[in-house]
Structure 1
Amino acid sequence: MASSAMNLILERIALFQFTPTHCAQARGMLGWSIEQLAREAKVSVDDIQRFEAQQDVADAVRLALTYRFEAQGLVFFPGFAPGRGGNVRGAMPESASHGDYAMAD
């Protein structure tokens, strides 16, 4: 039961963090058209257009979009443009070392 509750919490967080603006920005970062995103996320073009126009869509659509972008290494935080996750291979040009952090000592 705890696993189901945790999944619900994670889904609520994902829904809160992922905005219509994020969707359009993430598509641009990946060079994806609405049609390509629809194929990748297995949702309709109309759903994506409604979402990006800040109209209501089902939570399942928003989660499908969020999870598809996250699978590409993107992360979302309210008020910020999408970014690349630090755990994605190639997200950082070089490996960070101890000397890269001023407060590490």
Structure 2
Amino acid sequence: MASLAMKVTLERIALFQFTSEHCIQARAMLGWSQEHLSQQSGVSVAAIHRFEAGGELLDVTRLALAFRLEAEGLVFFPGFAPGRGMNIKGATPNPMERPDYAMIE
């Protein structure tokens, strides 16, 4: 089990790497609507819409989006479009393990 410091570090990296543009691009790559991403991630359509329009989300909500999209084999790096991560597991920790998961938007 990773230490708390390692978990926090991984979360900070994931939050830095995953942008609203990534979310839009990833949905397009997968052919997913905001509604489908909502169903798959547990994040509300309103929160996804707000994020993709440049609005802020709680960290746990952004992690839930990144985690779910990474589960489809996508990887995210600042300044680049999402890529297909063959044999690469995403770096985003499972947000369901966070104590604030119940606050997901």
TM-score range, shorter chain: 0.7 to 0.9
Correspondence 1:14-53 to 2 at 5 A: 14-53=14-53
- The CA deviation at 1:2 is 5.9
Please give the secondary structure, in 1, of the residue aligned with 2:61.
helix
Normalising by the residue count of structure 2, what TM-score does the alignment of the two structures yield?
0.80
Q: Deviations along 1:27-65, whole A, 9 cap, x unmatched?
A: 000010000000100010000000000111111110000
| Amino acid paired to 2:30 | L
Partner of 1:57: 57
- The CA deviation at 1:86 is 2.7
| Amino acid paired to 1:53 | A
Instruction: Name the CA distance, whole Å, in 2 between partners of 1:62 and 1:84.
Output: 20
Q: Which has the higher contact order (CA 8 A, sep 6+)?
A: 2
| Amino acid paired to 1:79 | G
| Amino acid paired to 1:55 | G
Instruction: Name the CA distance, whole Å, in 2 between partners of 1:86 and 1:78.
Output: 19
Partner of 1:80: 80
Q: After TM superposition, which residue ranges in structure 1, 4 or more long, deviate above 3 angstroms?
A: none
Identity of aligned residues (%): 65
Instruction: Name the CA distance, whole Å, in 2 between partners of 1:4 and 1:67.
Output: 18
Structure 1: 5+ residue runs without aligned partners?
A: 89-105
> What is the aligned residue count?
88
Structure 2: 5+ residue runs without aligned partners?
A: 89-105
> Bigger radius of gyration, 1 or 2?
1
- The CA deviation at 1:26 is 0.1
- The CA deviation at 1:79 is 0.5
Partner of 2:3: 3
Normalising by the residue count of structure 1, what TM-score does the alignment of the two structures yield?
0.80
Instruction: Name the CA distance, whole Å, in 2 between partners of 1:2 and 1:79.
Output: 28
- The CA deviation at 1:4 is 1.2
Q: Deviations along 1:54-92, whole A, 9 cap, x unmatched?
A: 11111111000000011111000000000011316xxxx
